Amino acid sequence: MRIAVLSANPRLYSTHRLIEAGEQRRHEMVVVDHTKCVLQIEKKNPIIVYNGKELTGIDAVIPRIGASVTFFGTAVVRQFEMQKIFTAVESQALVKSRDKLRSLQLLSRAGLGLPRTIFSNYSRDTEAVVSMLGSTPIILKLLEGTQGLGVILAETKKAAESVLEAFNGLEARVILQEFVEEAKGADIRAFVVEGTVVGAMKRQAKEGEFRSNLHRGGTAALITLSDEEEDAAIKAARVMGLGIAGVDMLQSSKGPLILEVNSSPGLEGIEKATKKDVAKEIIRYVERHVEI
């Protein structure tokens, strides 16, 4: 099988591991930089041009689309879908997962636990908006933020109002969320492949930091999920339509609370924490869906 990994950087750990795992299972693996693809669209003839030549002979695609290029990356994935080529992450699921507000609405409708979240249309009455959460501290998140960037902890209502007012003045979309104190600066990343949790880790924020992202200096350790946590992760991935997903959640007195469902979860943290070959599980998932 000839499998293309859509990645703008072949040196990334996740890209390298997918190539390695695919080759170990005797597939021809190629890296395609989706940002350099050119799409030709005409009646019943969707073509992808890469490095000046039509890209052909691809049996399956594993998208690794960065958040900053979601629009064009999704268009490339859609072009492969129009060619009836299997994509490990579907274009519509990718779009849904990148819209944080829409994601939370879909997860809420499905009955999954979430931190209480407030969103307004640049309301001038910041005091009333902040008061809707009822307690402090308060988390403020940019809807376009990734890897912990654009996330602020406001210790008081006045601080939250000032930050919200500043974001509103810049016309930056932001959500407010309750701070779950019992999580103690930690969250869980469950890696789901085709309805099964293939690995899970607990990420702990470094001292003096509330964001547990590994990119922000957090540490990761293997964790065994409770049945409730495992069910929540699997359901969250299914609601978003994702065959591959990194589901981030908090442990709380109310049960697991979903923070985000990531459509391009990194492999480095989960593989090192769990000592599991997650890349191989992704390749096996592709194998189950492609007939050669």
* pLDDT computed for residue 147 by the predictor: 54
Task: Give the domain 117-179 fold.
Answer: Dna Ligase; domain 1 (3.30.1490)
CATH 3.30.470.20 domain position(s) in the chain: 98-113+182-263
* pLDDT computed for residue 213 by the predictor: 57
Average pLDDT of adjacent 10-residue blocks, the chain of 292 residues: 96 97 98 97 93 96 94 97 97 94 95 93 86 88 69 90 88 88 87 97 74 62 95 98 97 93 95 96 97 70
CATH 3.40.50.20 domain position(s) in the chain: 2-89
| pTM attached to this predicted model | 0.89
Task: Give the domain 98-113+182-263 fold.
Answer: D-amino Acid Aminotransferase; Chain A, domain 1 (3.30.470)
* pLDDT computed for residue 40 by the predictor: 95
What digits encode the pLDDT tens for the residues 262-271?
999 999 999 9
* pLDDT computed for residue 148 by the predictor: 54
Question: Could you write out the three-class secondary structure of the chain?
Answer: CEEEEECCCCCCHHHHHHHHHHHHCCCEEEEECHHHEEEECCCCCCEEEECCEECCCCCEEEECCCHHHHHHHHHHHHHHHHCCCEECCCHHHHHHHHCHHHHHHHHHHCCCCCCCEEECCCCCCHHHHHHCCCCCCEEEEECCCCCCCCEEEECCHHHHHHHHHHHHHCCCCEEEEECCHHHCCEEEEEEEECCEEEEEEEEECCCCCCCCCHHHCCEEEECCCCHHHHHHHHHHHHHCCCCEEEEEEECCCCCCEEEEEECCCCCHHHHHHHCCCHHHHHHHHHHHHCCC
* pLDDT computed for residue 210 by the predictor: 56
What digits encode the pLDDT tens for the residues 30-40?
999 999 999 99
* pLDDT computed for residue 88 by the predictor: 98
CATH 3.30.1490.20 domain position(s) in the chain: 117-179
Domain spanning 2-89: CATH 3.40.50.300: no
